[in-house]
Structure 1
C-alpha cells in the first residue's frame, strides 16, 4: 500500500508529490498523458505541431500521437484549451505568477469588500496564505520578469492612466508593474544575441528570448532539465519530486507512471465514513488495468477530468456542487497598431501587467504568428462591422468589436507583428452554479463516459459583464496612451484556459465540495490539489501561483492529519528547484 497516490502531473499534482516526498512518504503519481523526457528531440517550434488540439504534442491525448485525442462534449461557442502530459497546461503557460487579490479571502474588510464574489470566498484569510505564496515563489523560483521593447510600450500607456507603480507582491489597489513570473532571468549570452552558437548552456542561461513560450521550454540548448528557463512543473516540481532523496534529508523519490489514465477511485466505509482507499488505472498502450491502494488519494486531473472521474467512480454528490462553478476569466483581446517597432513577438511572452481590483487586470502578450492569427479571429461578434449590423460592442476602440478581416486585416499586419501590441483582458468572473461539467450522453471512450461542459457564457452576472467592459476600456485607453494609431477589440468567445473552481473549496457546505483543508466533504482521505479546488476567480490574476500555494498548504494538512507530522512551511526554508544537486541526479537518471 502506498502512502499517497496523486492523480495528475500538471500544475498542482507535482507540488503535493514533491512536498510529501520530501517528508519521506511513499508517493505514486499517475499521469494520463505523455512524459516528454527529452524535449530537444521530441518538440519543435512549429506551432501546429505543438498546439493542434487533435494531433499536436500539446493535446489532450495519449503519448502515441497516431491515436485520437480524448473527446469532450461542449455545445456552446467556446474553446477548452487544456492538455495532458507531465507539466499539464503549465507546459504552454507564460509563467506569470501574480498573487490572488486579498479581497477574495475570508476576513477581508477593505472598503471594496462587497465588490467581489462575496458568496464564494476562500475559507481562510489572505494572511494565512502568504507563507505558502512565499514558499512557492522561492521554490519555483519566481522573480521579476525579463523585459524588452513591448513592455516599455505597455508601460508608456500605463503612465497615461495616472496609476502608481506597484512595488509589493500583494496587490492593494489599481497599479501597474513588471510581471512576477517563473522564468529564469537571462544570463551570459542570453538576451544579447540571436547567434544560435552562442546560446548554448552554460554560455547562456535562463531565457534566451526565443519568443516561443507557448510551445514549451527547451532552452537554453544543452541545459539540464531543471535549468530550462520556463518553470513549468516538468522543469521545476517534477525534477524535485524525482530526486527528493538527494536534496531533502529523509526524502523519498516519487514514482511517476505516465500513459496511466485513472478510471476509478475506490472507497469503503470506515467508522461510518466513506473513505478513499485507492484507484484503478488503465495503461493507454496495452489497455491493461491496474489497482493501487493508498492511505490518501489526491485528485489533480484538472477542472474537467476531476468531475468526470468523480461521477464515473460513483462518488456521492450530496449538495449537487461536484462539477459546478466552472469558472474562467472571461477574457478579451485588444490590439493596438503602431507606426513604430513594438518588439511584439520577441522575448518572454508576457512581462508587464496592470491590476485594477476588484475588476481584474491587463497583461501584454506577445505571440508567434499562428497564435496571433488565432487570437484575432476568436470573436463572439462575427466579422468586425460586417454581416452583424454593428453587433459588436462599441467604445474607445475603432468601430464595433469583432474579428478583423479583409482590407483591415491587411492594414493591421502590413507592418508585421513587430508593429502590434496585444493586451489580454482578464476579469474577475463570478462563480456561476449553472456552468458545470456532467457526463455526456454520447458514447463512452476507452476510459469511460466522457465529460460534457455546459458553459452559459452569454448569461454572465451583471458584475462579471461590468468587469469585462471596464477592463476592455482600460486596455483601449492604455493602447491609445502608448501611441497606437488604431485600436481593435476582438470580443473573444470564451477561451477556457484559466479554468477553475469546478470542485471548489468554500466556507459553506451548501455550495462547496471541499473543506478548508481541500479535503472532500463527502469522502474522507480524498483531496483535490489543482485549479478546480480554487473557490473563486481570484479577483482576476493568473491562477498558477495560487493553485500551487494552495497545493503546498494541502500537502502540509495531509501530512499533519493522516501521517502525524508537523508543519514545515512556517519553520523551514524551501529548496530552489534549480539546485545543482538536482541537476546531477537527473543526469545520473538519464534525464
Structure 2
C-alpha cells in the first residue's frame, strides 16, 4: 500500500508529490499523458506541431499522437486550452506567478472589499497563505520578468492611464508593474545574441528571449532539466520529486507513472464515514487496468477531469456542487497595431501587467505568429464589419468588435507579428452555479462517460460583465496611449485557460466540495490540490501561484492529519528547484 496516490502531474500534483516525498512518504504520481524525458528530441519549434488541439504534442490526449485527442463536450462557442503530459498545462504557460488579490480572502477589510465576490471567499485570511506563497516563490524560483521593447511600449501606455507603478507583490490598488514570472533571468550570453553557438549552457543561462514559451521550453540548449529557463513543473517540481532522496535527509523518490489515465477512485465505509482507499487507472498505450491502494488520494487532474472522475466513481455529491462554480477570468483581447517593430514575439510571453483589484487585470501577451493569428480570429461577435452576432459592442477601439478578415487581417500581418501589442483582459468573475462540468450524454470513451463543460457567456452575472467591460476599455486606452495606429477589440468567446473552482473549497457545506484544508467534505482521506480547489477566481490574478501555494498548504495538512508530522512552512527554508544536488541526481537517473 502506498502512502499517497496523486492523480495528475500538472501545476498542483507535482507540488504535493515533491513536498511529501521530501518528508519520506511513499508517493505514486499518475499522469494520463506523456513524459517528455528528452524534450529537445521529442518536441519542435513548430507551432502547429506543438499547439494543434487535435494532434499537437501539447494537446489533451494520449502520448501516441496517431490516436485521437480525448474528447470534451462544449455546448457553446468556446475553446479549452489544456495539455496532458508531465507538466500539464504549465508546459505551455507563460510562467506568470502573480499573487492572488487579498480581497478574495475571508476577513479582508480594505476600502474596495465590496467590489469582490464576497459570497465565495477563500475560507481563511490572506495572511495565512502568504508564507506558502513565499515558499513556492523561493522554490521555483519566481523572479521579475526580463524586459524588452514590447514591455517599454506597454509601460508607456500604462503611465497614461493615471495609475501608479506597483513595487510590491501584494496588490490592493490599481497599478501597473512588471510580471512576477517563474522564468529564470537571462545570464551569460542569453538576451545578448541570436548566435545559437553562444546560446548553449553554460555559455548562456536562463531565458534566451526566444519567444517560444507556448511550445514548451527547452532553453538554453544543453542545460540540465532543472535549469531550463521556464519553471513549468516538468522542469521544477517533478525533478525535485524524482530526486527527493538526494536533497532531503528523510526523502524518498516518488514513483512516476505516465500514460496512466485514472478511471476510478475507490472508497469504503469505515465507522460511519466514506473513506478513499485507492485508484484504478488504465494504461493508455496497452489498455491494461491496474489498481493500487493508498492511505491518502489526491485529485490534481484539473477543473474538468476532477469532476468527471468524481462523478464516474459515483462518489457522494449531496449538495450538487461537484463541477459547479467554474470560473475562467472571462477573457477578452485588445490588439494594437504599430508602424514600427515592437518586438512582440521576442522574450518572455508575458512580462508586464496592470492590476485593477476588485475587477481583475490585464497583461500583454507576446506570441509567435500562429498563436497571434488565433488571437485575431476567435470571436463571439462574428466578423468585423460583416456581422456581429447581436453584440456589436462599440468603445474606444476602431469600429465594432469582432475577428479580422480580408484587408484588415492582411494589414495586421503585413510586416509580421512583431508590430502587434496584444492585451489580454482577465476578469474577477463571479462563482456561478450554472457554469459547470457534468457528464455528457454523448458516447463514453475508453475511460468512461466524457465531461460536458458549460460556460454561459451571455448569462454571466452583472458584476462579471461590468468588470470585463471596464478592463477592456482600459486596455484600449493603454494601446492608444502607447501609440497604436489601430486598436481592435476581438471579443473572445470563453477560452478556458485559467479554469478554476469546479471543486471549490469554502466556508459552507451548502456550496463547496472541500473544507478549508482541501479535504473532501464527504470522503475522508481524499484531497484536491490544483486550480479546481480555488474557492473563487483569485480576484482576477493568474491562478498558478495561488494554486501551487495552496497545494503546498494541502500537502502540509495531509502530513499533519494522516501521517503524524509537523508543519514545515515557515520553520525551514525551501529547497530551490535549481539546487545542484537535484542537477547531479538527475544525471544518474535511467
TM-score normalised by the chain length of structure 2: 0.99
Q: For residue 580 of structure 1, what is the aligned residue in structure 2?
A: 580
Do the aligned residues in 1 keep the contact of 2:380 with 2:389 (CA within 8 Å)? no
Q: For residue 22 of structure 1, what is the aligned residue in structure 2?
A: 22
Deviations 1:239-281 (A, max 9, x none): 0000001111111001000101111000011111100000111
Is 1:3 equivalent to 2:3 in the alignment? yes
Task: Give 3-state SS (helix, strand or coil) of 1:361's partner.
Answer: strand
Structure 1, unaligned stretches of length 5 or more?
none
C-alpha distance in 1, partners of 2:413/2:84?
Answer: 34
C-alpha distance in 2, partners of 1:546/1:17?
Answer: 17
C-alpha distance in 1, partners of 2:388/2:103?
Answer: 39
C-alpha distance in 2, partners of 1:112/1:175?
Answer: 14
Q: For residue 222 of structure 1, what is the aligned residue in structure 2?
A: 222
Q: For residue 555 of structure 1, what is the aligned residue in structure 2?
A: 555
Task: Give 3-state SS (helix, strand or coil) of 2:452's partner.
Answer: strand
Do the aligned residues in 2 keep the contact of 1:243 with 1:253 (CA within 8 Å)? yes
Q: For residue 462 of structure 1, what is the aligned residue in structure 2?
A: 462
1:486-497 superposed matches below 5 A: 486-497=486-497
Q: For residue 43 of structure 1, what is the aligned residue in structure 2?
A: 43
Q: For residue 351 of structure 1, what is the aligned residue in structure 2?
A: 351
Q: For residue 315 of structure 1, what is the aligned residue in structure 2?
A: 315
Do the aligned residues in 2 keep the contact of 1:392 with 1:491 (CA within 8 Å)? no
1:376-391 superposed matches below 5 A: 376-388=376-388, 391=391
C-alpha distance in 2, partners of 1:296/1:320?
Answer: 24
Report the CA distance between 1:111 and its aligned residue. 1.4
Q: For residue 278 of structure 2, what is the aligned residue in structure 1?
A: 278
1:20-419 superposed matches below 5 A: 20-388=20-388, 391-419=391-419
Report the CA distance between 1:389 and its aligned residue. 8.3
Task: Give 3-state SS (helix, strand or coil) of 1:73's partner.
Answer: coil
Do the aligned residues in 2 keep the contact of 1:261 with 1:447 (CA within 8 Å)? yes
Report the CA distance between 1:442 and its aligned residue. 1.0
Do the aligned residues in 1 keep the contact of 2:381 with 2:389 (CA within 8 Å)? no
C-alpha distance in 2, partners of 1:261/1:54?
Answer: 18
C-alpha distance in 2, partners of 1:190/1:48?
Answer: 26
C-alpha distance in 1, partners of 2:131/2:391?
Answer: 47
Structure 2, unaligned stretches of length 5 or more?
none
Do the aligned residues in 1 keep the contact of 2:388 with 2:402 (CA within 8 Å)? no
C-alpha distance in 1, partners of 2:440/2:490?
Answer: 31
Do the aligned residues in 2 keep the contact of 1:157 with 1:482 (CA within 8 Å)? yes
C-alpha distance in 2, partners of 1:387/1:94?
Answer: 33
Do the aligned residues in 2 keep the contact of 1:276 with 1:524 (CA within 8 Å)? yes
C-alpha distance in 2, partners of 1:440/1:425?
Answer: 30
Is 1:525 equivalent to 2:525 in the alignment? yes
Coordinate RMSD, CA, aligned: 0.9
Task: Give 3-state SS (helix, strand or coil) of 1:367's partner.
Answer: coil
Deviations 1:177-225 (A, max 9, x none): 1100000000000000001111000000000111100000011000000
Do the aligned residues in 2 keep the contact of 1:263 with 1:313 (CA within 8 Å)? yes
After alignment, is 197-206 or 450-459 more displaced?
A: 450-459
C-alpha distance in 1, partners of 2:262/2:68?
Answer: 18
Task: Give 3-state SS (helix, strand or coil) of 1:480's partner.
Answer: helix
C-alpha distance in 2, partners of 1:37/1:145?
Answer: 27
Deviations 1:338-375 (A, max 9, x none): 12221111111110011011111111111101100000
Deviations 1:274-323 (A, max 9, x none): 00000111111111111100000000001000011001111010100001
Report the CA distance between 1:560 and its aligned residue. 0.4
C-alpha distance in 2, partners of 1:277/1:408?
Answer: 58
Deviations 1:396-416 (A, max 9, x none): 001111111111222222232
Task: Give 3-state SS (helix, strand or coil) of 2:358's partner.
Answer: coil
Deviations 1:63-98 (A, max 9, x none): 111111111111100001111110000000000001
Report the CA distance between 1:390 and its aligned residue. 7.8
C-alpha distance in 2, partners of 1:286/1:171?
Answer: 49
C-alpha distance in 2, partners of 1:391/1:317?
Answer: 37
1:442-521 superposed matches below 5 A: 442-521=442-521
Aligned residues: 590
C-alpha distance in 1, partners of 2:30/2:114?
Answer: 41
C-alpha distance in 2, partners of 1:485/1:320?
Answer: 50
Deviations 1:143-174 (A, max 9, x none): 00001000000000011111111111100200
Report the CA distance between 1:62 and its aligned residue. 1.1
- TM-aligned CA distance change 1:391 to 1:105, over 3 Å: closer
Do the aligned residues in 1 keep the contact of 2:328 with 2:500 (CA within 8 Å)? yes
C-alpha distance in 2, partners of 1:327/1:165?
Answer: 28
C-alpha distance in 1, partners of 2:74/2:219?
Answer: 36
C-alpha distance in 2, partners of 1:30/1:388?
Answer: 45
- TM-aligned CA distance change 1:250 to 1:388, over 3 Å: closer
C-alpha distance in 2, partners of 1:398/1:67?
Answer: 44
C-alpha distance in 2, partners of 1:311/1:390?
Answer: 37
After alignment, is 452-461 or 132-141 more displaced?
A: 452-461
Deviations 1:552-585 (A, max 9, x none): 0000000000000000002010011000110111
- TM-aligned CA distance change 1:268 to 1:372, over 3 Å: same
C-alpha distance in 2, partners of 1:10/1:440?
Answer: 24
